[in-house]
Amino acid sequence: MSDISAAAVETHCGTVFFAGDRAYKRKKPLDLGFVDFTTPASRRHACHREVELNRRFAPDVYLGVAEVRDPDGRPCDWLVIMRRMPADRRLSVLLRTGEDIRDPLRALARMLAAHHATARRSPTIDQEGSAAALRRRWTDNVRALGSFRGRIADAAVLDEIAERALRYVDGRGDLLADRIAAGRIRDGHGDLLADDIFCLDDGPRAMDCLEFDDALRALDGVDDAACLAMDLERLGAPAEAARFLHWFAEFAGGPRVSSLEHHYVAYRAVMRAKVAALRWAQGDAASAAEVTRLLGIGLTHLRAGEPRLILVGGLPGVGKSTVAGGLADALGGVLLRSDRLRQETGSAVGSGGPVPWRTGLYEPGRVAAVYDTLRGRAVDALRHGESVVLDASWADAEQRDAARVVASRAGATLVELRCAAPAALAAERLTRRTGDPSQATPEIAARLAQEFAPWPEASEVDTSQPVADALAAAMHRVEQPGPRCG
């Protein structure tokens, strides 16, 4: 061990004393709202729970609990006894010194995933993964930050965080219910932070799990992993944060939902901002800047993780399918194309090549049915946290209105794009197109142009330019905050 001198470290709810090869933690006799250690009994219970729960992640570190007696020999306080960890192997220190932390992070991801695979589960624990429970946690955190509103917490940022977070939760009930059904909600760590992780030669030790509230420790494995990802980003290591989430998803198995990862990183940042605000209230002036930084991280991830419904429309031959496919690839989203759905729902009709206007698969009733199917599949994907790109002409204003309702009810950001190219270029593309599910011809395109309802809400994408430039222009619009539905 590099340093075994005596020392002491203050936290917002405890003091840790270091002496030789041991560390002793004492609970502060404070009531912070979310934790109450004002009575000796509460501190005694918390110390024993801390040892019991942390031995799951660092069994050789947490050695037991010691009694502190008053001059009359009566127990008056308790200390958690721990093996002292080498300060220079703390994960946060390794980050600052520039050491390669990929191997310990990968080992930690494996350890966390293995824990969640077998950790305790119950109906009570499952309920903490529900939309109602997640909504309550967000509301509690935002309310706690309310007393710092306009002082160290920007009011507009708090308002946007609350609006985006609750809108995500309210629209993702199906996703959260599926996570519960798949057994993803377990008794986890609850507070993985870089300061509390030590990277030893025989593997990492994760300390200081959240012991004071069982409900807050009942969580999705992604939420547990997101806590450390948030902290790595806070410490200036976003690439390492992304790697850690990737490795955790790899070891945990099952579908990876990027919007849920973003959401939980945001939740952890806002929770940490609340803790920093409490430190500021206790006299730590430097914590004010930390509150601002953490709220910024939270808002960035809420924006990035917001499911989007993207309408990519325009006349036949303008290249909207190329743009739609490129957007879906870039976003990792679901691509739904009207021409393919049209074939699915009526392959026996008009399958011999181009058909006259408003006949066969393009008969108005069949067209309406295709749009109904597009919206229905979009609703399901959005409720499960996916972004959706809908590739169709969107010539009918009523169909666009119906899509806006879908976005609003699913708590999704709506982006409307109209692809445009000179008629001659579009006609040339149609005549040389092969192997495409569309049966549109230059004649059909000309008829559709006459009936295309005005679409002032859409941003135009010039698809006569190189594909890379058209995609860049489309992505620029998608990434703009813009007005939100709901």
Of 133, 130, 131, 158, the residue nearest 144 (C-alpha) = 158
Domain 308-479 has CATH 3.30.1330.10: no
Banded model confidence at residue 339, pLDDT cuts 50, 70, 90: confident
How many CB atoms neighbour CB 5 within 10 A? 7
Could you tell me where the DSSP H helices lie in 305-385?
A: 320-331, 338-346, 364-383
Q: How many CA atoms lie within 13 A of 111 on its CB side?
A: 19
Q: How confident is the model at residue 442 (pLDDT cuts 50, 70, 90)?
A: confident
Q: Hey, how many other C-beta atoms are within 10 angstroms of the C-beta on 3?
A: 10
- Contact by Cβ (8 Å): 51, 60: no
Tell the burial category of 274 from Cβ atoms under 10 Å away from its Cβ (0-12, 13-18, 19+): buried
Please give the pLDDT value at position 72: 87
Report in angstroms the alpha-carbon separations of 390 from 275, 372, 418.
Answer: 42, 12, 12
- Work out the pLDDT band at 2, boundaries 50, 70, 90: very low
Instruction: Please report, for the chain, the start and end positions of each structural domain, with discontinuous segments joined by +.
Output: 7-83, 87-304, 308-479
253: nearest Cα among 222, 207, 217: 222
Q: State the pTM of this model.
A: 0.88
| Mean pLDDT of the 415-423 span | 95
> pLDDT-derived band of residue 482, with 50, 70 and 90 as boundaries?
low
3.40.630.30, 3.50.50.60, 3.90.1200.10, 3.90.1150.10: CATH of 87-304: 3.90.1200.10
Domain at 7-83: CATH code: 3.30.200
Separation of alpha carbons 94 and 101, rounded Å: 7
Q: Are strands 413-420 and 308-313 parallel, antiparallel or unpaired?
A: parallel
Per residue, the 3-state secondary structure of 101-114, as one string, reads: CHHHHHHHHHHHHH
